[in-house]
Structure 1
Amino acid sequence: MTKKIAGRLAGLVSIAPALLLSGCNNLDLLAPKGPIGAAEKSLIATSTWAMLIVVVPVIFLTLLFAWRYRASNKSAEYRPNWSHSTAIEVAVWTIPALIILFLAVLTWKSTHELDPYKPLESNVKPINVEVVALDWKWLFIYPDLGIASVNQLAIPVGTPVNFRITSDTVMNSFFIPQLGGQIYAMAGMQTRLHLLAEEPGDYAGTSANFSGKGFSDMKFRTLAESQQDFDAWVAKARASTDHLSMDRYYAVAKPEEKASVSYFSSVDPKLFNNIVARYNNGHVIDNMKDVNCAPNGTKG
């Protein structure tokens, strides 16, 4: 009987992931298209398997003990005075302690390797993008190209992207699940993120921090394109008749739900720094080391 139960439980465990994921059509986090996303997926999988070493046996033994020592089982040994087992004590303390130690080492190592402020190593010159979270849309500024866009981010495949991120509204969180990384955008402060797309594609970008009425539609598309297609996208932006001066920015920054994609053929070169500095009496704060704030206030 015990072997039969164990066999059934093993079968359920083997199909559980498929059952849990069967209702999901778009698992971006588990389909990475860049080195950071792939490393984060591996970290999630490793941590999950490490914890399952305890979780699965506990679930199995709980069900087994409930069955074996049920009231109707007269053959089960009755030991009302039993109170201690050295073997059980060693198992219940040693195994979790080893798992915690393993996860601690893994966390320490991965925290440094996946530091969002750490530039990616590459022979390709990175592209710089300044990101501004607004109500309820995203503004992307390309300072080296002198263009900008709303709710659409284009990047060349195989090229590192250096993001500088801030907010001109409440705290938000910038996230492209398939490329990895999630980091806060906060008014008066700038955070950094480094990503790279290894495959062409149209990837979802989102706000991962509740920011009010239009939060659910605060999304953008990330176009990872070949250099030729990216150059065509840049030419498209430069063909726009709209110019993002500081005065024009105030109109763009007004709250708007389900904002459409728009392009700007020129940008005030001081725009991003002005947005950051307006909350700090003219002083630009680069990462949270410059202010008295807990470390988890800077990186997501």
Structure 2
Amino acid sequence: MSPLGPVAAGERAHLIVFFLWMLPVTLPILIGLPWIAIRYRRRGGKGHYTPHWEHSTLAEAVIWGSATVTVLILGFFTWVQVKREDPYAQTGADPVHIQVIGSEWKWMFIYPGKMATVNKVVLPQHTPVEFDITATGAMQSFWIPRLAGQIYAMPGMGTKMNLTTGDTTEVFGFNSQFNGAAFPLDKFEVDVVTKDQFDAFLQEPKHPWAQLEAAFKKTATWSGPELFEPPSKDYWMKVMMNPSIATDGGAAILPDNSPGQKEIDKAINKDLHISQLNGSAQQ
């Protein structure tokens, strides 16, 4: 409900319109149910008892007519909004292209020909952005709530999300699809910066790509964001066609007493504890 870009702002407006148009259906129910229960209660009720009453054309018309009109109106608004906010349609000319690979329980972002990052994506302000998204292992859902809605990331498939950034900010993106043991840690930093800062970010020192490729296969969770050299030009496409290239798979299911699961449990407890402390500090 606090959008930082036009796509998220449109989705908020869509939600408000839906809420207002549902009021003619929901308010009579919310008001009428307790009124009927009180007026026609067995003892002390003031309603007139008519055991043989069974039909009212007017009541039928009001009940079903209002519901039908509401559904038609909401259907129209849904169609218009979906066409307007098609995630596959670019939101402006010359978008920044970023390739995304989701895996249990981390995200890789590839700036083609420039760099690769893990659990961190940096975007220039007021700029169209196009994400190409795929996954390895369990299905995930790519979601940056204050910039755009979610879209699924699936092994062997490619999806897209287009958006336009707003003012500079620091937020988080999430996986909103439950996918196993370290799901609470499955998030990434999203920094919207000035264009000069974005250009400087692309020039920052990077670790070798081979180091990322090896670690990504055997590491379930990533301790923090890191920058790496870019992979080969067609790496993302190869991963989409054959997810095992990027990961060994099977990380989503770990025995409860396994060393890997115990380490994940410690990380989750630490992360939740830090989140609670931050929440208390903000209050």
TM-score by shorter chain over 0.5: yes
Q: Which residue, 1, 5, 8 being the options, matches 1:37?
A: 8
Aligned partners of 2:47, 2:163: CA distance in 1, in Å? 59
Secondary structure at the counterpart of residue 3 of structure 2: coil
1:60 match:
31
1:283 match:
none
Aligned partners of 1:279, 1:217: CA distance in 2, in Å? 21
CA contact (8 A) 2:103 2:136 kept: yes
1:14 match:
none
2:233 match:
269
Amino acid at match of 1:135: E
Q: Which residue, 174, 179, 184 being the options, matches 1:211?
A: 179
Amino acid at match of 1:38: A
2:224 match:
260
CA contact (8 A) 1:162 1:194 kept: yes
Q: 1:74 to 1:40 in 2, by over 3 A?
A: closer
Task: Give the 5 Å matches for 1:123-162.
Answer: 125-144=94-113, 146-162=114-130
Q: Which residue, 110, 135, 138 being the options, matches 2:81?
A: 110
Structure 1 window deviating more from structure 2 (161-170 vs 95-104): it is 161-170
Give TM-score scaled by structure 1 length: 0.76
Aligned partners of 1:33, 1:181: CA distance in 2, in Å? 12
Aligned partners of 1:97, 1:91: CA distance in 2, in Å? 10
2:273 match:
none
1:286 match:
none
Secondary structure at the counterpart of residue 90 of structure 1: helix
Amino acid at match of 2:216: V
Q: 1:149 to 1:81 in 2, by over 3 A?
A: same
CA contact (8 A) 1:134 1:253 kept: no
Q: 1:117 to 1:72 in 2, by over 3 A?
A: same
Q: Which residue, 67, 70, 82 being the options, matches 1:99?
A: 70
What's the CA shift for 1:209?
A: 1.0
1:80 match:
51
Q: Residue by residue, what CA displacement relative to the aligned partner does 1:193-230 show, whole Å, maximum 9, x if unpaired?
A: 10111111111100111222111101001101111221
CA contact (8 A) 1:137 1:259 kept: no
What's the CA shift for 1:186?
A: 1.4
Q: Does 1:243 align with 2:214?
A: no
Amino acid at match of 2:100: V
Q: Which residue, 117, 135, 144 being the options, matches 1:176?
A: 144
CA contact (8 A) 1:218 1:258 kept: no
| Structure 2 unaligned residues grouped into runs of 5+ | 245-283
Q: Does 1:200 align with 2:165?
A: no
CA contact (8 A) 2:136 2:243 kept: no
Q: 1:119 to 1:226 in 2, by over 3 A?
A: same
Aligned partners of 2:212, 2:184: CA distance in 1, in Å? 26
Aligned partners of 2:138, 2:130: CA distance in 1, in Å? 23
What's the CA shift for 1:182?
A: 1.1
Aligned partners of 2:242, 2:39: CA distance in 1, in Å? 69
CA contact (8 A) 1:135 1:253 kept: no
Aligned partners of 1:74, 1:223: CA distance in 2, in Å? 61
Amino acid at match of 1:140: F
Q: 1:106 to 1:89 in 2, by over 3 A?
A: same
What's the CA shift for 1:74?
A: 6.2
Structure 1 window deviating more from structure 2 (134-143 vs 67-76): it is 67-76
Q: 1:107 to 1:216 in 2, by over 3 A?
A: same
Q: 1:79 to 1:120 in 2, by over 3 A?
A: same
Aligned partners of 1:176, 1:277: CA distance in 2, in Å? 25
Aligned partners of 2:45, 2:9: CA distance in 1, in Å? 54
Q: Residue by residue, what CA displacement relative to the aligned partner does 1:44-65 show, whole Å, maximum 9, x if unpaired?
A: 1111222222111111011111
Aligned length: 245
Q: Residue by residue, what CA displacement relative to the aligned partner does 1:62-108 show, whole Å, maximum 9, x if unpaired?
A: 11112222234365322222222121111011000000101111121
Aligned partners of 1:76, 1:179: CA distance in 2, in Å? 53
Q: 1:130 to 1:64 in 2, by over 3 A?
A: same
| Structure 1 unaligned residues grouped into runs of 5+ | 1-29, 281-300
